[in-house]
Amino acid sequence: MIPFLCRRLLAVVFVLAFSAAASAQPLQWFWWKSEPSLALSPDQSAQIDAVFQEGIARLMHQKDELDRLEAKLSRLIETSASEAEVAQQIDKVEATRSTLNKTRTLMLFHMRLVLKPEQRLKLNALRDRRVEAQRAKDKPGTSGTTSDASKGSDAARKRPN
């Protein structure tokens, strides 16, 4: 039972990550309840919470469907199914993944619509500070310049013209 709950929780964390950069930091589950600088009214908080509750239920259902389709794809690959069968299943998996991402993005969009313009600006500034703090945490002792070692690895990946 515990592993099942852990997988569900991890799935929810995955689908709620705002972006690649933001996903490296801990997810702020109820940012609308724990960020006083946004000065949300109780009505705004309730509206955002309702959007979240509706969205998370849909996301969990879609994630279950994605897991089911990915498992079927894995079985097809393991059993050496035809390329046509595998390609068809890939299309189903990717369509479901796209739907899940669209649902997540629209949920976040609907949450932002509840905010006033000045609150959106404050939320953007908070996000930017968190991203910068995470970058600084991930790269201690660097000044933000590219090192010679990384330049070499970049050059090794480039193809000659």
For residue 145, the one-letter residue type is T
Taking residue 30's Cβ as centre, other Cβ atoms within 10 Å add up to 11
User: Percent of the chain at pLDDT above 70?
Assistant: 68
As a residue count, the chain comes to 161
Distance of alpha carbon 104 from alpha carbon 84, whole angstroms: 30
Domain ranges of the chain: 41-114
Cα–Cα nearest to 91, from 69, 75, 71: 69
Number of helices (H), then strands (E), belonging to the chain: the values are: 6, 0
Q: Which residue has the higher pLDDT, 93 or 7?
A: 93
* Residue 71 in tokens: 């498992």
> pLDDT at residue 74 above 50?
yes
Q: Look up the pTM and report it.
A: 0.63
pLDDT of 75-90, one tens digit each?
A: 999 999 999 999 999 9
Cα–Cα nearest to 112, from 124, 95, 101: 124
Q: What is the pLDDT of residue 32?
A: 77
